[in-house]
Amino acid sequence: MSNDRVMPEYRIRLRIDRPDPATYAGYTEYPTACISDAFRKRQTLPPSIKPVWGPPGRIVGPAVTVKATPGDEILALKAIEIAQPGDVIIVAGADHELNCFWGGIMSTMAKARGVAALVAQGMIRDLEQCREAGFPIWATGVTPVAPNMDVPPGELNLPITIGEVTIHPGDLVVADEDGVTIVPKAQIAAVSDAVKSRIAKEDAWLAQIHATRQMILKDSVESLLAKRTVEYLD
């Protein structure tokens, strides 16, 4: 390391603490919308990160975190190498106005190694190859322009931030066609209980709608409007 620098160009953690898969097995049935509700709209990644081909289904898995220089693929490649089956590679900082940082060969390698999905603040390319590999991707866009290689600095398996959400290695990533939510490892059980309660409430609402064809939350709407000045027009 140069003596005029206090940090290395790259920092890489090879081993992370993953939650027991038994603790999040039920999450494949939990919509990201209900998880977002459980966090009172927190822990949700920006809507610019969306499925690039679909329908994607719902993926759930521990986070392998990457902090990359925009358009640089080197640590994403290293993440594929060290990821375990079921992991989700999640990348912050790779969003370049032109370059991608991920392509079809990387998707094929990741799929072969059992990686569950890619979630990225960045663009990908080779969409046809990614689709043919059957590898789910949530990203900010698609471009034909190739990635860069070896543009430090960068970090692998250290905490990252995307939007207002901080993601630690091993946190649970849940992604579906609505978007992406992050569940901290320590809150997996509590969030599961909250989501089950929310789903039960919504199921009851749906049953009531089908049975009565009446409005849900009508009393709440009227109560709130009563506190406002409202002019009703014919």
Query: Could you give the angle at the alpha carbon of 122 between the alpha carbons of 119 and 123, nearest 5°?
Result: 100
* The pLDDT value given to residue 5: 87
Which pairing describes strands 88-92 and 59-67: parallel, antiparallel, or unpaired?
parallel
The answer as to whether 69 is a domain residue is: yes
Structural domain for 119, as ranges: 10-185
The answer as to whether 220 is a domain residue is: no
The answer as to whether 116 is a domain residue is: yes
pLDDT digit string (tens) for 94-133? 898 889 999 999 999 999 999 999 999 999 999 999 999 9
Phi and psi for 77 in degrees, rounded to 5?
Answer: -65, -40
User: Which CATH number belongs to the domain containing residue 146 in this structure?
Assistant: 3.50.30.40
Question: What's the one-letter identity of residue 113?
Answer: R
How many domains, the chain? 1
The answer as to whether 152 is a domain residue is: yes
The answer as to whether 3 is a domain residue is: no
Bin 3: left if φ > 0, else alpha if -120 < ψ < 50, else beta: alpha
The answer as to whether 108 is a domain residue is: yes
pTM of the full structure: 0.93
The answer as to whether 190 is a domain residue is: no
The answer as to whether 97 is a domain residue is: yes
pLDDT digit string (tens) for 212-226? 888 888 899 999 999
